[in-house]
Amino acid sequence: MNVQNETPVVFDKILLKLSGEALAGSLGYGIDETMVDFFTEEIIKIVKLGVKVAIVVGGGNIFRGLKGIKQGIERLKGDFMGMLATTINALALESFFNTKGYKAKVLTSTFMEPYAERYSPWRAHNYLDKNYILIFAGGTGNPFFTTDTAAALRAVEIGADVLIKATNVDGVYSDNPKNNPNAVKYDTLDFKTAIEKNLQVVDMTAFAMCYENNLPLIVYNAHKADNLLKIIKGQKIGTLVK
């Protein structure tokens, strides 16, 4: 690994929340290898700077539990199916990193050997100390919790400096910018304001965990090359919630 320690960074350890839908790309479902290649390359750019990276990936490109309810699948089964979907995505990311010559490891919230190791904070810290890129799969391991909540939980457990949420818009707006051209983008927000305005950046459980643990949250457009790199170098990209 080519670590360029001379390049200043403002975050030493991050938790990146990556949606499953992002991996689907133009396909709209499943895994678009072009998108997996793009996101892994974006992450490698900051790994080269010596940043420790952990990722929580969603599974919406394969299955969404809440959508399954409308199709006759009970909520508990649907949520567990969603957890399995996140593991498929995590294994794809791990494989791409390994192929590119970077050490990566999938840690799952439930036992899934021989595909991956069971998550524990101590195991995660051990791998991060050895400069592995970690991909946390399976959400929290419990139904009724989103992968946003899993991302906040894991970020706190590993002592991340920041939780970064990858989206397809360039930050948090007062309204949906796709539907409302007058929507205002926030450069910075506090958690109280985000909750009061019901901005739905992440779910309320994730918000509460970030707030209670003083964990800053950055929301940014992950589809623009070098945006993640710019964030790590301290440039004002997206919206900072703190």
Q: Are 19 and 31 in contact (CB under 8 A)?
A: no
Which of 18-22, 98-102, 226-230 has the lowest average pLDDT? Answer: 18-22
Mean predicted confidence (pLDDT) in 154-167:
97
Please tell me the predicted confidence (pLDDT) of residue 178: 79
Model confidence band, residue 2 (pLDDT cutoffs 50, 70, 90)? very low
Burial of 111 (0-12, 13-18, 19+ CB in 10 A): exposed
pLDDT at 3: 47
Output helix, strand, coil percentages for the chain, rounded to the nearest 5: 40, 20, 40
Q: Looking at the structure, give the CATH architecture of the domain made up of residues 13-241.
A: 3-Layer(aba) Sandwich (3.40)
- Report the pLDDT averaged over residues 130-153: 95
The mean pLDDT of 115-131, rounded to a whole number, is: 96
What's the pLDDT at 1? 44
Three-state DSSP at 172 gives strand
What is the pTM (predicted TM-score) of this model? Answer: 0.92
- Which ranges of 27-74 does DSSP label H, i.e. alpha helix? 33-47, 65-70
pLDDT of 26 reads 85
Q: What is the torsional sign of CA 225, 227, 228, 234?
A: positive
pLDDT in tens, 196-235: 888 878 888 898 899 999 999 999 999 999 999 999 999 9
For 25-44, what is the mean pLDDT?
Answer: 94
Can you say whether residue 118 is alpha, beta or left, with left for phi > 0 and alpha for psi between -120 and 50 degrees? Answer: beta
Model pLDDT, residue 70:
65
How does the average pLDDT of the chain come out, rounded?
A: 91
Name the residue with higher pLDDT: 80 or 45.
Answer: 45
The tokens 């004002």 sit on which residue?
A: 236
The residue among 202 and 126 whose pLDDT is bigger is 126
pLDDT at 65: 55
For 220, residues 6+ apart whose C-beta sits below 8 A from its C-beta are: 164, 165, 166, 167, 170, 171, 227, 228, 231, 237, 238, 239
Listed range (49-63, 67-81, 83-97) with the worst mean pLDDT:
67-81
Is pLDDT above 50 for 4? no
Cβ–Cβ contacts within 10 Å for residue 154, how many?
26
In the predicted model, is pLDDT for residue 40 greater than 50?
yes
Q: How many CB atoms lie within 10 A of CB 101?
A: 9
